[in-house]
Amino acid sequence: MKKLLTIASAALVISCTPKGYTTIHYSKRISKCIENLETMEGWLQEDYENGDIPHHIAQNYMYILVNTKCGLKKKIKANDDDCTK
């Protein structure tokens, strides 16, 4: 019985091990990049609210995300009030 559990555990660990993640998929569409940044903002806010990230670090990351998003919006000539704050 112990051998069966050991073999099953080893098979599970091996099957869950990441293999060859050398390819990064990204979109060339600016709108999709903005959408991804907004998703990251949500994750950052959740992590901060859960206490996983200190205030000063969350604030720095949010600053980078918002400014990057605004730069992309300006690139596609979008008018957004958030970019003027």
Q: Is the pLDDT of residue 12 over 90?
A: no
Q: Which two tokens stand for residue 44?
A: 């950052």
CB 31 within 8 Å of CB 73: no
Q: Which two tokens stand for residue 37?
A: 């940044």
pLDDT per residue over 34-82, tens digit each? Answer: 899 999 999 999 999 999 999 999 999 999 999 999 999 888 864 455 5
Confidence of residue 20 (pLDDT cuts 50, 70, 90): low
The DSSP symbol for 1 reads -
Global pTM value = 0.60
